[in-house]
A and B are shown apart, each in its own frame.
Chain A
Amino acid sequence: MIINTTILSWVTFIYFGSAVFYIFRLVTGKGFWGTLASVTALVGLLAQTAALIIRWFESYELGIGHAPLSNLYESLIFFAWTIVLLYLIVEWRIKSKHVGAFVIPFAFLSMAFASFSPNVNSRIQPLIPALQSNWLISHVITCFFGYAAFTLACGLGFMYLIKGLERAGNAGSFLRLLPHREILEELTYHSVVIGFIFLTLGIITGSVWAYSAWGSYWSWDPKETWSLISWLVYAAMLHFRFVWGWSGKKLAIMSLIGFAAVLFTYFGVNLLPGLHSYF
């Protein structure tokens, strides 16, 4: 096994540990677990960054140098990386560690899928002609930051709904420890906005690329179509908030629906025939 995949399979366990610690923090309310969880996540992120750089170098040693963003394995790894990076930035900004229990598990799942699924090939492969483009990097980065922000929004929306279960009677429950619903709602909204902007940029960079690779900036390829559907769902969500003044539970549910569309854009589309078949 090449060194980068070894590190990356270790990172999978590190994120698992971090997710568990975040959940301990949430349930016990003890600050120690939160600190441990953050440190673990940060260590995982740094190790993963190193592994990605090593993988990049290794691809050059193989004489097929390209950024590690070119197949399903590499995209899953990058997805996890963007989730953890974005999450840690948010944690640092809001100074609260509760959200981690709902977000870091996604990073772990993505890593685990990449590392352990027999259908995901971890080898560094050369770029087929269609992927040999300068737009590869900007397209993948913008899309995955968008996906990561939507993942965050989904985790926050889920938290909002769980927080809604809190009753006066169960004062001792961990629900009491979750941030206030207004804060969760605001964070969900901001995550969706960030994701929406990145998704838009991802669609635009993809169109520019398609214009030089496929002969048309828009071909109604299933992945393109589903990215548009996700975009429409979040556009509707923003209008619900801006124009109809929706808030709270409805918006939290919208963030879950939007994430389902994003997941289908990412994975489900592979079940349909189309041009994006290499992802």
Chain B
Amino acid sequence: MKKRLISFFASVRLTIILLIMIALVSILGTVIPQQYGPGDTVTHLSPKLVDIFKSLQLFDIYHSVWFIVLMCLLYLNLIACSIKRFPTTWKLFTTRPSLDRSKPFEDLPPDNIVMIEGNRNEITSTVERLLQKRLKRFRKKDTDEATTFYGEKGAFSGFAAYVIHVSILVVIAGALIGSQWGFKAFVNIAEGESTDRVYVERQSGLKKLDFTVRCDKFSIAYYENGMPREYRSDLSFLKEDTVILQGPLRVNHPITVNGIRFYQANYGAIPGGKVHITITKANRPQTHMTVYLKDSFSLHGDAAKVTVERIEENLMSMGPAVLLTVHSPDATLQFWVFKGIEKMKRAIPDLLDKVPKFNPGRYKPYYFELNGIEQTFYTGLQLSHDPGVSVVAIGAFLIVAGFLVTFFSSHKRFWVRVDEAEGKTRIMVSARSNRDPVGLKRETEYLLRHIAARDTARLA
């Protein structure tokens, strides 16, 4: 029973089945929208189906019980396969093949046999020099009728596969360390505000940091064509009211504090903000004001009251604008004041006639100008603490190293026998390899060519 269990776990068939299942589950995860935060799942599925999907953890497949079970099975499978096969590899590496064996030379293709005229002893020593130069762990056995040589190349390559598989285990172990002892969290902080509590992913409730994060300023820089060039949060990290670290946080440039990495992940405008406007009445000095959203002010020498109804960062792609309502005893007027109205008028000369609502001088005899709007932003920070990263990195590095050895070397073993036949000296070359038949053929042909030419002297 125990044996059967082991052979079940150690089978490559299981590996393949697991790989296919992991692949299929992964595909499922890219088709079903994944979400793991709190909040409602937005789908076009019926509520009943949503419940079924939820109970099967299909909205969080990569952290579901059964995905983890698959990974654990793969883990066990890799370990079992390695343990099962290792003794064979070890034996292949350590055993010295007997030089008495005749099997390597049975059924040898004619191409692998060279017949040359000449003294056998002389040829034997030439062959010996050649093989010693080309092969490692070289051995030799003399008998009366023949001399047999053995040599090999790349014996270590048999271990590379273990390096790769163990490295994959190391990567998975690193990922488990990260998920067990690390965390991912996020927090939004408004400009000027600070916090020491963050929302941890996949958990309800807040986590308290042992320091405070303050967002001093959030800013966006744009390219000329309007695409964002930089998102930047100026952050201060404080411990008991002393700043321990301060700096700009940008995308691709995380900041690490006490082992926690901060990332610029998101941002947004806080509803509200304020506007700077200038009011001109014919023949009177201008008035400059700063008004908050929904606030009202009165006009000099007039009974009307003006309210800031809306503030738009970029209205209809024509830049910042503010919607004003003028309540006068006679009427109520509403119009937009664009910051770039002069430019718009140049582009469309009859704009104000066509769209009176865009006329900043609609309430005569006053004229409004928008000098700028001030938005308050919040910055969306992502936090992560992952003690498994270095383990994953080491594993990844070893995988690549293992690949290079596995794919670019192979264990090539050669038996060469020099004897006499039909009055000539006969050299037979038998070659075996665990893989890379082309490389083996190339090496064999090389040996045969040089033996046939007997120009081994030139090899040095």
Contact = CB atoms under 8 A, between A and B. Distances in A.
Q: Do A and B come from one complex?
A: yes
Interface stretch (A47-55, A82-90, A221-229): A221-229
Given A126-B229, A212-B254, A232 B19 contact: yes
Interface string B382-425: 11101001001000100110011001000000000000000000
B34 interface: yes
B155 to A, nearest CB: 18
A236 B261 CA distance: 36
Contact of A232 (B23, B227, B389): B23
A244 B12 contact: yes
Contact of A225 (B29, B175, B251): B29
A204 interface: yes
A225 B61 CA distance: 12
B192 interface: no
A235 interface: yes
Interface string A187-217: 0000001001100110010010001111111
Contacts of B258: none
A137 B252 CA distance: 14
Contacts, number: 97
B225 interface: yes
Contacts of B223: 64, 126
Contact of A186 (B15, B230, B251, B438): B438
A250 interface: no
A64 B23 CA distance: 40
Interface in B271-313: none
A132 interface: yes
Contact of B23 (A197, A201, A211, A233): A233
B43 to A, nearest CB: 12
Interface in A235-270: 235-236, 239-240, 242-244, 269
A200 B252 contact: no
A240 B19 CA distance: 12
Interface size class of B (residues with CB under 8 A): 35 or more
Contact of A215 (B19, B23, B254, B435): B254
B250 interface: yes
Given A193-B407, A232-B22, A272-B31, A213 B252 contact: yes
A229 B386 contact: no
Interface in A118-141: 125-126, 128-130, 132-133
Contacts of B252: 129-130, 132-133, 212-213
A215 B184 contact: yes
B32 to A, nearest CB: 10
Contacts of B250: 129
A220 B202 CA distance: 15
A212 B230 CA distance: 15
A273 interface: yes
Contacts of B382: 214-215
B230 to A, nearest CB: 6
A279 interface: no
A273 to B, nearest CB: 7
16 contacts: A64-B223, A125-B225, A126-B223, A126-B227, A128-B228, A200-B400, A207-B396, A211-B389, A220-B29, A220-B62, A225-B27, A228-B26, A232-B22, A239-B12, A239-B16, A269-B30
A-B pairs, top 6 by smallest CB distance, nearest first, are A129-B251, A222-B30, A215-B263, A215-B382, A126-B223, A220-B62
Given A197-B403, A207-B396, A225-B30, 14 more contacts: A125-B227, A129-B250, A130-B251, A197-B404, A200-B403, A204-B400, A207-B392, A212-B254, A215-B384, A222-B30, A225-B27, A226-B26, A232-B22, A236-B16
